[in-house]
Each structure stands twice: as C-alpha cells, then as structure tokens.
Amino acid sequence: MGSALSTHLLDQGVAVHALTRRKDKAQSQDPSEAGKRYFHWDPARKQLDAACLNGVTGIVHLAGESIGGGRWTARRKKVLLESRIDSIRLIFDALRLSPVPHQVHTVVSASATGIYQPHPEHILVEDSPVGNGFLAEVCQAWEQTIQQGGAELGLRTVMLRSGVVWSREGGMYAQLADMTRRFPAVIPGSGRQWMPWVHIQDAVRAYAMALYSDRMEGPYNLVAPDSITLGDFMHALAENLEKKVWLPPVPAPFVRLGLGEMSSLLLDSMKVSPSRLMLAGFNFYYPTATEAFRDLQN
C-alpha cells in the first residue's frame, strides 16, 4: 500500500517523505524516485529523524506488522498491537516536541473491517457494533490512539477501515493467487462467508482523497460496493487462472485447528457498506469483483 500510494502521490506532483527502518536506504536517495525522500525511524527503539516532518502537511499511517504473517501467539499479538500503537505515538510525540511550529493538519490512518462484530447477513456501517476478538481489539486501540492524539494536537483525523486489498504485488490476494497457480484452489469453511474487499487502485485513491478533503473526518469503510463470498471469490480466482477448485470445502474446525485464532481472517463473515465514503464523493474505478478480476489478470 505504501509503495502504491507514494507512486500515486508523486504522479500528482506531491512530495513524499517516507519512513524506513533501513539506515542505508535513508542515507541514499533513489534518483528514479524524484520527489520522494526516505528518513530513518525505529519505533521499537523510539527513534525518529525529526527532519521527516519538515514541510509536511499530511501524514498517512500504514505502519504495523502483517496481521496474516503468522499464528497469533501471545508474543505475536503483542508485536501486532505495539507496532501500530507505538509507531503513531512516536510521530505524535515528534509533533509535540517540534522546536518550530509544524504544518501538519491531517492524519490518515489505516484500519480494518475486522473491527466489526461478524454477522452472516447484516450490512455493517461505521456505527455498527464492534467485535470482541483480537483483530477488533487491535483496530479499536489503533483508532482510539489516532483520534486521541489528533484531538490533542488539533489535527483532522481519518481512519480507513479497509477490507482485503486486491493487488498483484502482495497481500492476501497475491498469496491466494500464487497458491492457486500451483495447487487446486481450496475454500475454507462453508465458503458462504462474506469477504469485504477493495482494489488497490481504489484504496490508493481513497487515501489521497482523505488527505485533501477537509469534509472527511472519522472512520470510513474502504470496501467495494459489490459484495462477494469467499467461495465465489475462490471459484472466480481459479477460473481466471484456469485452475480447478478442490471440493468439498475445508470444514471450519480444521481451518481453526491449522491457523488458530488467525482463522478468523478467513472464516468471519462481514458484509460491509462503503456508503459513507461514497456520500463523501468517492467513485470506485472497480466497483465489482468482475471488473477487478479483469484488471488484475491482465
């Protein structure tokens, strides 16, 4: 997401300051990325090059260890939460301690539809009940930290609760596509669970809009209007890749046994509405799964 958003903003003539934990990358600028500068940070050690804030008017917070990067052990849960909370607190602290008045007026943060209480049929909107699982706890803590810090500093804050971001470059879509190219597609659980999703290009455009639209504030569901079940998604993915689907679906208990608590990423059913985002003036380039698949398979 960070790379795609940077490219989009640079194409629009917007200068980008990117944070990296690699000191070598921060010390050498890539000539091919004109308008983009890298600055070193290490949230775990509370290190941040404060020069990254010079001339900055908006901040996009995408930091955080990958939710799907491994089983949710007690240790990994701690890392998943702290990597999000500590990193944005480090930025807020830098703004508070800045020796000169900063120019930042907006913070746009990632969040996830995993904040909601799963439901097989109810359409979920921004004020729908929140869940009580680990992912919901992480999202709530993340959003509360963003809102609290923004309020203390007088900043406009926007939280984009995205579904699964479909991209060829990485994430869940790319992983499932890679597996389906090598093996028959597998449907976890009943396959009837709703999977909120959004095309990478629409996600990037929504972040850019949130940066510059003063009318936007608070949480927004960043999902495509066209709902799709995980079973239909896997069938469509297999068809587009000219592969077969392994039948019958893998029973939910076996998925839970293999993935533990992380199985909620595949088994929870959420039918999420982007109506608030659309009322703010956002138009999707890829509103349907068919259009998104067509683009991603080209």
pLDDT at 30 over 80: no
For the chain, what is the radius of gyration of the CA atoms? 20
Residue 114: pLDDT band (50, 70, 90) is very high
Q: Where are the beta strands (DSSP E) in 164-227?
A: 164-166, 185-188, 197-199, 218-222
| Predicted pLDDT of residue 249 | 85
Residue 55: pLDDT band (50, 70, 90) is very high
pLDDT at 36 over 80: yes
Rounded to 5 degrees, what angle do the CA atoms 134, 135, 141 make?
90
127-148 pLDDT, tens digit per residue, is: 999 999 999 999 999 999 999 9
> Measuring CA to CA, which residue among 59, 55, 62, 6 is closest to residue 34?
6
Give strand pairing partners of 5: none
pLDDT at 32 over 80: no
Query: Residues 201, 168: contact at Cβ < 8 Å?
Result: no
pLDDT at 296 over 90: no
The domain limits of the chain are: 2-164+198-225+268-286
Four-residue CA torsion sign, 272, 197, 195, 217: negative
19-23, 259-263, 276-280 — which is least confidently predicted? 259-263
Fold type of domain 2-164+198-225+268-286:
Rossmann fold (3.40.50)
The predicted model gives 267-292 an average pLDDT of 95
Q: What is the DSSP letter of 182?
A: H
| Predicted pLDDT of residue 140 | 97
Q: Where are the beta strands (DSSP E) in 12-63?
A: 16-20, 36-42, 47-48, 58-61
Average pLDDT value for the chain? 92
> Measuring CA to CA, which residue among 224, 230, 232, 235 is closest to residue 263?
230
Token duo for residue 280: 């703010």
Burial class for 215, CB neighbours closer than 10 Å (0-12, 13-18, 19+): exposed
Q: Provide the percentage of residues in the chain whose pLDDT is more than 70.
A: 100
- Region of 97 on the Ramachandran plot (φ > 0 left; ψ -120 to 50 alpha; else beta): alpha
| Predicted pLDDT of residue 223 | 97
Query: Residues 218, 126: contact at Cβ < 8 Å?
Result: yes
Of 168-177, 219-228, 234-243, 261-270, which has the strongest mean pLDDT?
A: 219-228
Give strand pairing partners of 116: 130
